[in-house]
Structure 1
Amino acid sequence: MMEYADSAISNSVRFWLCLTAVIPSIGCSIAILYHILSNRTRRNALNNHVVVILLVNNLIYELIDISLFLNYYRLGVVWPASESLCLIWIYVDEALYTVSTVTVAWASIERHMLIFHDRWYSTPKRRFLVHYLPFAILVSYIFLFHFFVIITPPCNNTYDYTEEICGHPLCFHNNRVVGSWDTIAHDIIPTITIVICSISLLVRVVIKNRHIRKRFQWRKHRKMAIQLLSISYLYCVLYIPVVFIELTQLCCKSNLFSAHFQEYTRFFAYYVIFLLPFVYLVALMESSWRIKNIFPCWCRTTQTVYPTILHTTHIAAHQPTPLESTPQN
């Protein structure tokens, strides 16, 4: 395995850190998806739709993008060294990671509507306009934007097969307007949205629970709040440092952070993808959920048949009374 002396984290360490994280993450994602999709009530719950999309998106990301990372860390070069592989790798890395971040940002906004304005979802038409349509537009925009700037760019990309993600040669970043838009719209704004909406949701829930106890059913909405706040906390811890780096690079000419700090920050930002299913699992357990509910057919208790004692009732024969026994003429 090829390693670089100036790298803060060697390729061998990166390989094992990713491998030991991605395997249980994939297993946990599949288990939770089965748990949600196998039950009609859970499958139709609006608050579960974002979770399903996040888990499916991250599962595809792990199977394609992380697999290519592992292959690079194992060999030290991109193999096979082809332009088509580089385009797929860059597109998946950029588009699916952006979908994950924007999905959590949208969920942070929608949780306010689901908890405090549930009447907006009272009819199929309202659910389509408020729930399905905005998210479909966001995801379609993300895929189309990255398709045009990565697959069919207005400039020529150059590829370095000795670097991970083929050197990430996005030539559109040389265009200050397009590059700034990509950083601000797809990284900075979603992260700020997650922070602000999560804090405001927590504050609104606490205030409502204190002052309007009879009208506001905390237990009914606690599961949705816990799910969102847990996922948002994960993104805040691991992704905010990356946003700070990108913000300083966008605003300042000189870089305020060392190269090793940037390397650590960008590498461990991928743990948002790895840890997401486990964070959601913990949130479900906080809502009185148990592991055995994922595969109920595996956890059925064996019923033991015991012999039953039958109590018999003895019926005495009818004895004639003296009057009945006297013959009548």
Structure 2
Amino acid sequence: MIQNKLLQEPDFLIPYPIRFWVYLFSLIPSLACSIFVLYHLLIDKVLHNALNNHVIIVLLLNNLVYQLIDIPLSLSFYHLGNVWPASPILCLFWMFIDETLFSLSLILVGGASIQRHILIFHKQWLSTNKKRIFIHYLPIGVLCFYCIVFHFITILFPPCQNRFNYNMSVCGYPLCYYDIRPMLVWDIAINKMLPTLTIVVFSIALLVRVLLQRRRIHQHIQWRKHKKMTIQLLAI
């Protein structure tokens, strides 16, 4: 299979024991930070009600699930050297979690890149509860629903037969639907390339719009004030 072949060689570049300890030492502070930030965003009503924090909350929940499920499965594999228990059900579950959460993070950040323009330049679009439901809440829900349903169908009920390799991480990642060209093109183009392109284009556009608006209202543009945002956008 296409993806399986791509993963076979790089899988052994870094010894499993080293990967295990790197993952473990990274997981502990990462998990603590996720819980800490998520706790304050959910407890503090001001932060919780701020529209710009809603996507961040969903992303944190998404990452928390990844840290609690996907990373421990990887730790088990790197510790034992194989998938345990060697079960097709575990492999399907692992692939579903891994692929869904990765795609969901990418798609949500892409959606957030668009919503930032609305929150900054078109606040009147969110002036009523009805507008907020259709323009803010509904898109987030639709993106999450689409991502979960797409991977639920393609991974758990694919129109082909997956072949698992219990001696490789994520059971060799045997996504057999990658051998079906229309599904492969859709997954790469819509779930991977489109969100990435959206993030880049709309982030750069946001920076340009902010700078142009400041010039338009005759305010002096100070590089220090925009340096942090510029670095963040260029780092995407």
Question: Quick check: TM above 0.5?
Answer: yes
CA–CA separation in structure 2 for the residues paired with 1:180 and 1:169: 17
2:98 to 86, 90, 93: 93
Larger relative contact order (CA 8 Å, sep ≥ 6) = 2
For residue 274 of structure 1, what is the aligned residue in structure 2? Answer: none
2:131 is aligned with 1:126: yes
2:69 is aligned with 1:84: no
- In 2 relative to 1, CA 41–213 (structure 1 residues): closer, same or farther, beyond 3 Å? farther
1:272-328 Cα shifts (integer Å, max 9, x gaps): xxxxxxxxxxxxxxxxxxxxxxxxxxxxxxxxxxxxxxxxxxxxxxxxxxxxxxxxx
What's the CA shift for 1:7? 2.3
2:141 to 115, 122, 136: 136
2:172 to 167, 171, 193: 167
For residue 111 of structure 2, what is the aligned residue in structure 1? Answer: 106
Runs of 4+ in 1 over 6 A off after TM superposition: none
Percent identity of equivalent pairs:
47
2:56 is aligned with 1:51: yes
1:140-164 Cα shifts (integer Å, max 9, x gaps): 1111111111111111111110010
Where does 1:298-317 land on structure 2 (aligned, <5 Å)? none
For residue 64 of structure 1, what is the aligned residue in structure 2? Answer: 69
Normalising to structure 1: TM-score of the pair?
0.64
Query: Which entry has the higher C-alpha Rg, 1 or 2?
Result: 1
Structure 2 segments unaligned to the other structure (5+ residues): 1-8, 220-224
- In 2 relative to 1, CA 233–53 (structure 1 residues): closer, same or farther, beyond 3 Å? farther
- In 2 relative to 1, CA 229–150 (structure 1 residues): closer, same or farther, beyond 3 Å? farther
For residue 15 of structure 2, what is the aligned residue in structure 1? Answer: 10
Q: Which amino acid aligns with 2:217?
A: I
Normalising to structure 2: TM-score of the pair?
0.88
CA–CA separation in structure 2 for the residues paired with 1:37 and 1:6: 38
1:96-144 Cα shifts (integer Å, max 9, x gaps): 1111010100000100011000000000000001001112111111111
SS of 1:22's equivalent in the other structure is helix
CA–CA separation in structure 2 for the residues paired with 1:118 and 1:72: 48
2:192 is aligned with 1:187: yes
CA–CA separation in structure 2 for the residues paired with 1:6 and 1:93: 16
1:165-219 Cα shifts (integer Å, max 9, x gaps): 00111111110110111111111111111111111111111111232268xxxxx
- In 2 relative to 1, CA 80–137 (structure 1 residues): closer, same or farther, beyond 3 Å? same
1:116 to 106, 121, 131: 121
Where does 1:159-238 land on structure 2 (aligned, <5 Å)? 159-212=164-217, 226=229, 230=232, 236=236
CA–CA separation in structure 2 for the residues paired with 1:51 and 1:213: 33
Give the number of equivalent residue pairs.
223
For residue 42 of structure 1, what is the aligned residue in structure 2? Answer: 47
For residue 243 of structure 1, what is the aligned residue in structure 2? Answer: none
Are the counterparts in 2 of residues 198 and 229 from structure 1 also a CA contact under 8 Å? no
What's the CA shift for 1:5? 10
Higher helix residue share: 2
Structure 1 segments unaligned to the other structure (5+ residues): 215-221, 237-329
